[in-house]
């Protein structure tokens, strides 16, 4: 990820603007400072961290922009305008030849994209996008939503989709395990999960789980298909066993089945005579509609009172947790809380912005899943004490 190290910082005069990049204001932390940055309308934080006799400047993980180019441009301008004595530099700010598109969506835009489509498919963890792009080109009557947690892949596939003028494709940067809980029941024709990381040493990190498969089954239309493709026999057998515990599904299992398109990794594995497994789960169950989700809103809080009481504290409940991690101050009347919360296996990492006028998640709100709504209500209760 782009970053650089310097010996000295110049005085920050904020707000500052140059070439479409805005440095808006600084939130001071106990160890790391956060610089609120905006590049062509996309907001995120840059972290400024003292480390011995130097400073490390890089992106903050929670708000890291989907377009890596925007981060690189911002870091380059900050480096040139506000630092001295460069030590190391890992920035390569290349300007994309493609214009910003409407292909990359946020969660609610992605839901609308699916709701407005008749026939639809979701690919989880599309990587280089070879399979996703091929399907989109070959099946223009189907709307494809690609979900990827790795942001550089989003940028890469977006550019390829623009080049190919694909109008039936949208991309989303989030954890698909949470996103599926927002999708309408019995509404999706296909879900693809190709070559997920097996996580043999950390099974709780796997995409496949009982709860994930229940959501996939609920989301699929009757006769809709969830297609898992893996080179790991252990992961495949684990997934089959999880699927066999479900009611209302049929399974198809194949070994070394050739598809119309393969990834570069699959090509490599085939050259090594490595086996490839396909497990297809077909839904034959009509699920109930999901409940309506509420907006996750806060009442007004007293920032001074919250700051005076703040401590790193973790709360555990039956099916979710809340972890208050850090506090940052723009001023005595304007603070940021950094916290994680949600399901024990799929959690959210967010900031809460609190001033005397407004309190809200910042920069982006979490998905309004059932678990997140529970955690949100408890967060309000804790902050109001």
148 is in an annotated binding site: yes
319 is in an annotated binding site: no
3-state secondary structure the chain: CCEEEEEEECCCCCCEEECCEEEEEEEEECCCEEEEEEECCEEEEEEEEEECCEEEEEECCCCCCCCHHHHHHHHHHHHHHHEEEEEEEECCCCCCCCCCCCCEECHHHHHHHHHCCCEEEEEECCCCCHHHHHHHHHCCCEEEEEECCCHHHHHHHHHHHHHCCCCCEEEECCCHHHHHHHCCCCCEEEEEEECCCCCCCCHHHCCCCHHHHHHHHHHEEEEEEEEEEECCHHHHHHHHHHHHCCCCEEEEEEECCCCCCCCHHHHHHHHCCCCCEEEEEEECCCCCCCCCCCCCCCCCCCHHHHHHHCCCEEEECCCCEEEEEEEEEEECCEEEEEEEEECCCCEEEEEEEEECCCEEEECCCCCCCHHHHHHHHHHHHHHHC
Residue 375: closest CA among 352, 348, 341, 345: 341
Q: Would you list which residues are annotated within the binding site for S-adenosyl-L-methionine?
A: 123, 148, 175
Q: Would you list which residues are annotated within the binding site?
A: 123, 148, 175, 231
Q: Would you list which residues are annotated within the binding site for substrate?
A: 231
């Amino acid at each position: 990820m782009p970053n650089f190290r310097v010996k000295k910082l110049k005085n920050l005069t904020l707000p500052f603007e140059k070439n479409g990049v805005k440095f808006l204001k600084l939130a001071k932390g106990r160890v790391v400072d956060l610089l609120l940055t905006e590049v062509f309308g996309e907001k995120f934080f840059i972290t400024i961290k003292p480390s011995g006799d130097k400073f490390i400047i890089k992106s903050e993980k929670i708000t890291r922009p989907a377009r890596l180019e925007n981060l690189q441009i911002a870091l380059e301008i900050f480096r040139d305008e506000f630092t001295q004595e460069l030590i190391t530099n890992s920035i390569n700010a290349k300007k994309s030849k493609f214009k910003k598109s409407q292909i990359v969506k946020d969660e609610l835009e992605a839901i609308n994209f699916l709701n407005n489509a008749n026939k639809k498919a979701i690919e989880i963890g599309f990587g280089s996008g070879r399979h996703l792009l091929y399907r989109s080109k070959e099946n223009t009557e189907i709307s494809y939503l690609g979900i990827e947690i790795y942001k550089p892949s989003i940028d890469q596939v977006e550019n390829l989709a623009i080049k190919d003028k694909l109008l039936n494709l949208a991309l989303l940067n989030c954890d698909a395990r949470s996103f599926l809980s927002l999708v309408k029941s019995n509404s999706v024709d296909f879900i693809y999960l190709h070559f997920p990381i097996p996580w043999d040493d950390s099974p709780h990190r796997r995409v496949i789980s009982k709860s994930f498969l229940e959501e996939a089954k609920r989301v699929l239309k009757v006769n809709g298909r969830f297609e898992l493709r893996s080179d790991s026999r252990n992961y495949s057998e684990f997934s089959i066993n999880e699927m066999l515990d479900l009611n209302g599904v049929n399974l198809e299992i194949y070994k070394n089945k050739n598809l119309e398109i393969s990834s570069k990794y699959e090509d490599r594995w085939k050259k090594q005579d490595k086996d490839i497994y396909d497990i297809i789960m077909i839904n034959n169950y009509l699920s109930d509609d999901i409940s309506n989700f509420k907006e996750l809103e806060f009442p007004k809080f007293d920032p001074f009172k919250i700051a005076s009481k703040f401590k790193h504290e973790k709360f555990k409940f039956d099916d979710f947790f809340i972890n208050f991690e850090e506090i940052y101050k723009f001023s005595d009347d304007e603070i940021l809380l950094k916290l994680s919360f949600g399901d024990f296996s799929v959690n959210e990492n967010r900031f809460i912005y609190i001033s005397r006028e407004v309190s809200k998640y910042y920069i982006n709100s979490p998905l309004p899943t059932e678990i997140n709504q529970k955690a949100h209500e408890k967060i309000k209760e804790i902050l109001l004490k």
